[in-house]
Structure 1
Amino acid sequence: MNNVEEFFALSKRIAKDYEAITPLLRDPEVVRAAQFLGELDKLAQRYDFSVTDILKLIDPGRALESERKKRDKDRQPQRRNRRDAR
Structure 2
Amino acid sequence: TRISDHIRVLKASINDLVKLRSVIKINKSNSIDEVKKLFSKPLADKEAAIEKLEKDFKTIEAEDERINVNISKINSQNEANKK
TM-score (norm 1): 0.29
Identify, as 1 or 2, the structure richer in helix: 2
TM-score (norm 2): 0.30
